[in-house]
Amino acid sequence: MIDLISYIHPETNQSPLLRMNRPNAKVLIVDDESGVRFVLGEALRSWGHETVEAASVAEGIKRFEEEQPAVAILDIDLPDGSGLDILNAIKEQHPETVVIMITGNVNVPNVITALRGAAHDFIGKPIHLEELRITLRNAVETRELRREVRQARNERASQFTFSQIIGESATMKKAIELTRRVAGSDVTSILLQGETGTGKDLFARAIHGASGRARAPYLAINCAALPATLIESELFGYEKGAFTDAKQKKEGLFEQAQGGTIFLDEIGEMELSLQAKLLRVLEEGAFRRVGGLKDLPLDVRIIAASNQNLKKAGEAGTFRLDLFFRLSVIQVDIPPLRDRGNDVILLAQHYIDNANLKRPGRKLKGLSSEVASIFKSYRWSGNVRELRNVIERASILEDGEHVTVTHLPADMLASSYLPSGGVSGVVLPAEGIPLETVEVDLARQALARTGGNLTRAAKLLDISRDQLRYKLKKAGDLSGDADGDAI
């Protein structure tokens, strides 16, 4: 037995069986020598592991299928075949299992075959238990790391879903349906166009999350945020010595995102010279690092986004038309918030719910009727991003259960008009409108904004309190015996 397993660590002169290490892994031991299995089993159990044993290829595969161990220690030379057969069977069924190969006949071909078969490590006989303990500890840590990486990727992929895109309007449903279909296709170039703040980045993430590339990287770069020289090195990477500060080789986004998705935001801001290089990459399916001499294969999906009309920009000479046509194999136009009807109310409620989660104890229920009317008529130049900011502000400042006009931005109040009877703004409609209707609507706005205070409402309209009472009474909004500063 001594010639097969070394009991004493040569440096500490202490049996590793006495030193405890408890990662609690189930380990399969396959060796045709019962003495080896016994000593290994004793050692592993003393380190906190659970053990399963087998003496042949057939028994090893059977025990693995029954017990599903996290780690397998396999002898290569077995009576009915090779431990490499077990290795292949394990990796075919459960590639995450960590395998350590052992043999008394160490030779290079065996090592190469084992490592190509995805063995974690290779140990020769006689087995030094301290070496095995360290190897096994590293193996368990490797498996745990793989599990955490896999879990992180799954969580990341689950975050990129179309369920996060809120919208019931016809225009939004059309955009969502198109991107859903595109996500599952093999199209490698997609163009998203829409105003700033419409959610192009959210669409890009959802496309990635719903695609076959979801478990691979999703990387984004804002083409307007970096000068052309930096964008080029960020995208393509560079070789050591390519320029003064290139102390070592750097992988670019194209290299880091292999198998995944790259989101090029605000691509309309990319300089023409870099546009030409990007076009070549897309057409040839290969790229070259800055300062490099060889082309590297490319396997990524490009999702480009712009708040410009890139076709018009191409016709004006500020964007390459050939790149536009290459990118717009599938073009998705994301509608602005002002064209999405009641979606603004759905989104506002979504952001209110999120604000409640972040601030326990502050439970906003929703929008006041006045604010809902303002939101529907407001033009939202900043789109969804502006709406999110408005709700964030209100959630911090509001004391009541509803978002009221009190904490809306001044510019929003100044440009908003509460419509009734189909009025869509203070501009005279083409079909005309009775002046009295407009006056009554404005009087109602002023009264609602001041909480029913006639004096302050009249001041907002630059008329006397009596004039305001007369208009409201005539419209039937004020009873004949009402008096005082509030109604």
Each residue of 104-155: pLDDT tens digit? 765 656 556 655 556 777 787 888 888 888 888 887 777 777 676 666 655 5
Q: Report the alpha-carbon distance of residue 324 to residue 190 in Å, rounded.
A: 10
CATH number of 337-416: 1.10.8.60
- 49, β-bridge pairs: none
Q: Report the alpha-carbon distance of residue 91 to residue 84 in Å, rounded.
A: 10
Res 451: pLDDT: 73
Q: Confirm if 196 and 307 have CB atoms less than 8 A apart.
A: yes
Cβ count within 10 A of residue 442: 17
Which CATH fold would you assign to the domain 167-335? Rossmann fold (3.40.50)
Residue-wise DSSP of 369-387: HHHHHHHHH---TTHHHHH
Res 143: pLDDT: 73
What does the pLDDT average to over 370-389? 92
Res 55: pLDDT: 94
Res 115: pLDDT: 58
Q: Report the alpha-carbon distance of residue 341 to residue 376 in Å, rounded.
A: 7
Q: Report the alpha-carbon distance of residue 467 to residue 459 in Å, rounded.
A: 11
* Residue 160 confidence class, pLDDT cut points 50, 70, 90: low
Res 399: pLDDT: 85
Is residue 3 scored above 60 in pLDDT?
no
Greater model confidence, 30 or 245: 30
* Residue 1 confidence class, pLDDT cut points 50, 70, 90: very low
Q: Confirm if 297 and 286 have CB atoms less than 8 A apart.
A: yes
Q: Provide the token pair at 417.
A: 């008009």
* Residue 103 confidence class, pLDDT cut points 50, 70, 90: confident
SS3 of 224, please? coil
Mean of pLDDT over the chain: 82
* Residue 17 confidence class, pLDDT cut points 50, 70, 90: very low
* Residue closest to 337 by CA, chosen among 386, 394, 390: 386
Q: Provide the token pair at 41.
A: 């089993």
Indicate the pTM of the whole model. Answer: 0.58
Greater model confidence, 445 or 415: 445
Q: Confirm if 380 and 344 have CB atoms less than 8 A apart.
A: yes
What does the pLDDT average to over 303-316? 95
pLDDT above 70 covers a percentage of the chain that reads: 83
Lowest mean pLDDT among 7-11, 110-114, 182-186, 470-474: 7-11
Q: Which amino acid is present at 253?
A: L
CATH number of 430-487: 1.10.10.60
Res 29: pLDDT: 94
Using CA atoms, how far residue 110 sits from 120, 190, 430, in Å, is: 14, 48, 87
User: Kind of pairing, strands 77-78 and 81-82?
Assistant: antiparallel
pLDDT above 90 covers a percentage of the chain that reads: 41
In the chain, CATH 1.10.10.60 covers 430-487
In the chain, CATH 3.40.50.2300 covers 5-153
Using CA atoms, how far residue 397 sits from 93, 323, 364, 370, 400, in Å, is: 57, 47, 11, 17, 9
Ranked by mean pLDDT, the top range of 53-62, 212-221, 236-245, 447-456 is 53-62
Q: Report the alpha-carbon distance of residue 280 to residue 287 in Å, rounded.
A: 8
What does the pLDDT average to over 440-465? 83
* Residue closest to 57 by CA, chosen among 38, 37, 78: 78
SS3 of 120, please? coil
* Residue closest to 168 by CA, chosen among 402, 422, 349: 349
Using CB atoms within 10 A of its CB, is residue 99 exposed (0-12), middle (13-18) or buried (19+)?
buried
* Residue 163 confidence class, pLDDT cut points 50, 70, 90: confident
Cβ count within 10 A of residue 59: 16
Is residue 231 scored above 50 in pLDDT?
yes
Is residue 268 scored above 70 in pLDDT?
yes
Res 243: pLDDT: 79
Q: Report the alpha-carbon distance of residue 73 to residue 96 in Å, rounded.
A: 14
Res 196: pLDDT: 94
In the chain, CATH 1.10.8.60 covers 337-416
CATH number of 5-153: 3.40.50.2300
Using CA atoms, how far residue 90 sits from 31, 82, 122, 235, in Å, is: 16, 13, 16, 39
Q: Confirm if 235 and 280 have CB atoms less than 8 A apart.
A: no
Is residue 298 scored above 70 in pLDDT?
yes
Secondary structure in 3-state letters for 244-256: CCCCCCEECHHHH
Q: Give the total residue count for the chain.
A: 487
Is residue 423 scored above 60 in pLDDT?
no
Handedness of CA 475, 478, 483, 487 (dihedral sign): negative
Q: What's the CA dihedral at 295, 300, 304, 310 to 10 degrees? A: 50
